[in-house]
Structure 1
């Protein structure tokens, strides 16, 4: 049996600062909630615990504040944009049927410590998700810490061996380490003038505060004076830094039983928050439309087929293009009028698609719509087609309408604006070592995939145009955003000049500054 306990406050702060500002269309900030939910998804998909609980601090004073007035003194208030998300997060956790545990007079650490101890008594393995190193003291045979690193992108597993390798101490000895060196983040004083290196040596040599003071005469000079003068602060600091394992929690451990976090109630709130990328991945029939049947299309195989395609281009003077590029091979799906066409690389090359496209009498006026037009323009340029009427880019339109979102890919846009679930390249071709090339797929399946995405771009354009007009951003889209495409293409193809000598000067300045800062840090660590 396995349990995961989350330090809610710690993780919420981490996600807030790890993810840039986001908000839904109503202006409600959502970045911290989004990051928190992604951790929950990771837990459900990768860790699959039997129990899950989230512990939060309450606003009132704890027993530590009552014992030491300056405990956590000087901490800034929760940022307003984070505070606005707090009640929503708790509501979402409730709808996900995730246990929320709070206890007046105690901190989340104490609740987690107590629940971990209860779990150990029951033979349950516990993993604690937190960005607070204080939790390392809880590590034991059945207890590990999943320490948040690099924002929230990595969870480092901390066990007894890790603590020993990192500090040369046991997890329990970390309590006395903190008692000696203090903790500025919690305003725990420790002993003035004793830094981490000295504190580690003392704990390694004597094992505890009591033993240090029993052998005080073995200390010499100013260090002895510091330790004697700081005795009261050391023992108070140990009390402040010790996580309780016996808070008066009268709940039922079985209430932490983990269930699928996606249910109709939680999905409804996730929709309200507009976490569309996340929702599109949920395997829930009631949440999203299923992938529709394949779209009828013409498979271009002969010169006669190609003639028909180019006649249509001249007649309608508008085309939707979905493309897939692998090295020099180009796969195309095109929507012209009410018809769709599929072209594989052999046809594109053998029937000279780009040469014929360049000779179209309406090349300069042919309105082209695509997802990520910039890369399509690169392809045209490689084929000596330099005049492109880039009429509409669904990627840019999606960004302009929701600049606070994390992703503007076709799959996310399709779900957000069409309520439609489509496959993306990762699902179609795989990733990493398991990635396959297009030529390795069943071509009928590949053609269906590309035509479906082409149809989605066409449907998206219709909806996005209405949204841009409704929000009075169509002028911005046409006069600023779209013309910038050619500028971006030119920058990527031609590059831009840099001043190497100035870069060398900056490098030297940064190295000098870094050396100075490093020296200051070492000095401060021992004061």
Structure 2
């Protein structure tokens, strides 16, 4: 039987490879939006997908160690006793890896009192005897003993991607012994990771030499008196250790196992389950890598596979122009400064058409433009705002947007990652239009022209729309979808198209000032350590200065030493003030500010304006996000951040900028949702909320509330709306945890409605599976019933703030819709430009300031019907900062 025709058994040491994945990928870079760490899951699954692709195994199993002892620890309690404590971020990921294996339909095995290595050894023996080619993947050197002509060990040299292939010849070349003799060598040399000390003075070369001379460990021990030199004497002094080592490093090949080789046969992954796990862990690119593993029989998402849709290109324009009512479209093109559309696909029921837009006559252009702007034509597409921009670049106005499958997919599960068309089609229909390979990829046929591509994709978006619309309805968000999110698309598109003017001179001055501050801070840092110049951006050099040169207390331990991230250094400076740390933190702030300014400067287009992109499908709470450039990350609590806003100015042909925002909107929503009489009283009386609350909490008159008291209460009030714990409050206020807990207890004693609400919202969400905003936006939390405590705790914290933040998001969106409609109804030229946090920025045309201010106040008040008044602040000025208030 040839090597290629033999069945291949792939055996993986689960925890060994998961640990390597964990330490190979920075945990801070891999987490869900609710804070669940995922670096080990991601790295492990990536390695697994690569192994499956490269080796095409017919049978697969992953072996796991179980918590608790084994027969080896019973024999030697100190066995593996020197291993570092498991990082807290690792343990919760093991169940997630097993969830992923279930979705991939890969067998996981374990056995009480035995190690994963023993299972690997037993199954390797069974596979070998069954005539299989066996591949063992493990970072434990004990598994070298399993290597034979039929069993190859894939041993990680670095991370989980660089694997050494240990064949019998490779083992002998590296260690000087055959694989079956490796345990003899290890017994002599010892294994530090297992806390098995070897013979002092005996290294691998000496051990291999003895094995070569005497034939093996038993013969060496029998003739120990004859082994010459100091090493021989050392051997004689440690014979018991050597015998014990050999007993413990022997892997068992004859365990009684419950899972048969036959049941390890790989049948392919379950597409729906893979999508579900990738959704919950918010994996996007990894999902695409897993699609080739999906079994053909699991791809169908709908009970009835729809009929094939043929795409008509000849005569497509005439057919499209005759359509009215609901249609699904897809635009092939690009957005941004070089926006363009080059193909249009349209689908109605089981018919699709595609047009190549590059070859239209002037008359055809005008006719198609009129059709797109016809209010009798209502349009559904994926990412309608992008389509709007691409079509506008050709002079067309896309009206009548009634559906967007990107937004629908987001509403169905806001905690997923990846809402581009390819990701959503893969998730719900098992097809792909963007990747070069993968299960269910569309076969465009007909030469794959842009027109056919557009028509085919429109047909799939139509299928997608039917499935998602039903799901949005089932989840109770049809109203949020149709009355809030969909109408907002055109408003945001016009805002993005308008952009905001930038004064290049002012922006340049801010950039130079940030650079000078960074240079001055760097010099102060060097002076604080005797003039030594170090790279302030190098964690390694900072560790040497902080912990070696300055002897400061160690921060959080990480793989490369001790953390030098911003939060760790800020905490270190708070507890152990030092001029170097102060200068370092100032340098980081100035450098970060300089980077923000550079990004903003680079984003100014040829019209002298910045055109940010607003997204409705990023923030799980429903808040809008801003990117390319991100205008939400301009600091608002520092003088330097405010000065950046001076560079955003009123544009030519306009008179002034108006800004309007809600005062303390989240606390007002908290008062409304909780029904707490004390908070409601404070807002209705128009008092300073934090002074009022401080007086109640600290038992003093409002006039006697100090600035420090007010600051503590403010931090706690907002913190409670974000699920802040006593530990988190203690860190934020630099208080002992006990004092922070007493502060919270006093708060809840005075404002019991808040306490009751926060408790009830989590319990109700656990019962329902979701939280709900005032407007009916739901956010689902399956982890509220998870058996994994960390995942459950994280879900509880997220569930606390979802109704409050989500209601605030809905409120500002409703206000934007009202402001836009009122401006249009009154025939004004003024226009909304920005929405950042709870603030709206409007560019006011000459003579319209009074009317626009009235619109802002009226529409922002009308956006919500709360049990407390909404307080709207309005300001005006020639630039964003001056218009602030």
TM-score, scaled relative to structure 2: 0.41
CA contact (8 A) 1:317 1:367 kept: yes
Distance 1:351 1:481, change over 3 A: closer
Asked if 1:398 is matched to 2:409, the reply is yes
Asked if 1:293 is matched to 2:307, the reply is yes
Asked if 1:144 is matched to 2:152, the reply is yes
CA contact (8 A) 1:320 1:336 kept: no
Give runs of aligned pairs for residues 9-20 of structure 1, distance below 5 A.
9-10=15-16, 20=30
CA contact (8 A) 1:10 1:130 kept: yes
Q: RMSD of aligned C-alpha atoms?
A: 6.3
What does residue 331 of structure 1 align with?
343
* C-alpha distance in 2 between matches for 1:174 and 1:472: 68
Distance 1:151 1:406, change over 3 A: farther
Q: Which runs of 5+ in 2 are unaligned?
A: 1-5, 280-286, 523-532, 549-560, 562-885
What does residue 652 of structure 2 align with?
none
Asked if 1:425 is matched to 2:434, the reply is yes
Displacement, 1:373? Answer: 5.3
CA contact (8 A) 2:355 2:451 kept: no
What does residue 11 of structure 2 align with?
5
* C-alpha distance in 2 between matches for 1:199 and 1:508: 42
CA contact (8 A) 1:390 1:482 kept: no
* C-alpha distance in 1 between matches for 2:132 and 2:350: 61
TM-score, scaled relative to structure 1: 0.63
* C-alpha distance in 2 between matches for 1:489 and 1:174: 71
1:130 is aligned, of 131, 134, 138, to 138
Give runs of aligned pairs for residues 126-205 of structure 1, distance below 5 A.
126-147=134-155, 157-160=165-168, 162-163=170-171, 171=179, 175=183, 185-190=193-198, 199-203=203-207
* C-alpha distance in 2 between matches for 1:113 and 1:322: 56
Distance 1:387 1:247, change over 3 A: same
CA contact (8 A) 1:363 1:388 kept: yes
Asked if 1:321 is matched to 2:330, the reply is yes
Aligned residue for 2:344, secondary structure, equals: strand
The aligned length equals 487
CA contact (8 A) 1:23 1:30 kept: no
What does residue 113 of structure 1 align with?
121
Displacement, 1:322? Answer: 3.9
Aligned residue for 1:452, secondary structure, equals: helix
* C-alpha distance in 2 between matches for 1:471 and 1:154: 49
Distance 1:248 1:301, change over 3 A: closer
What does residue 413 of structure 1 align with?
424
1:283 is aligned, of 272, 296, 310, to 296
CA contact (8 A) 1:397 1:477 kept: no
CA contact (8 A) 1:319 1:366 kept: no
Q: Which runs of 5+ in 1 are unaligned?
A: none
CA contact (8 A) 1:271 1:279 kept: no
Aligned residue for 1:513, secondary structure, equals: helix
Stretch moving more, 448-457 or 229-238: 229-238
Bigger Cα Rg: 2
String of CA shifts for 1:43-76, please: whole Å, max 9, x gaps: 7776454544443334452221012212233543
Distance 1:370 1:51, change over 3 A: closer
Aligned residue for 2:306, secondary structure, equals: coil
Displacement, 1:110? Answer: 1.4
Distance 1:92 1:30, change over 3 A: farther
Displacement, 1:106? Answer: 2.0
Displacement, 1:243? Answer: 3.9
Aligned residue for 1:284, secondary structure, equals: helix
* C-alpha distance in 2 between matches for 1:13 and 1:3: 23
CA contact (8 A) 2:405 2:465 kept: no
Displacement, 1:388? Answer: 9.5
Stretch moving more, 350-359 or 442-451: 350-359
Displacement, 1:143? Answer: 0.9
CA contact (8 A) 2:375 2:399 kept: yes
2:358 is aligned, of 346, 359, 370, to 346
String of CA shifts for 1:277-313, please: whole Å, max 9, x gaps: 76894311795446532447764758x739x63x86x
String of CA shifts for 1:325-361, please: whole Å, max 9, x gaps: 799882221358998542125335x558778877899
Give runs of aligned pairs for residues 87-106 of structure 1, distance below 5 A.
101-106=109-114
CA contact (8 A) 2:153 2:165 kept: yes
Distance 1:161 1:113, change over 3 A: same
Asked if 1:510 is matched to 2:521, the reply is no
Distance 1:421 1:286, change over 3 A: closer
What does residue 832 of structure 2 align with?
none
Distance 1:513 1:33, change over 3 A: closer
CA contact (8 A) 1:23 1:31 kept: no
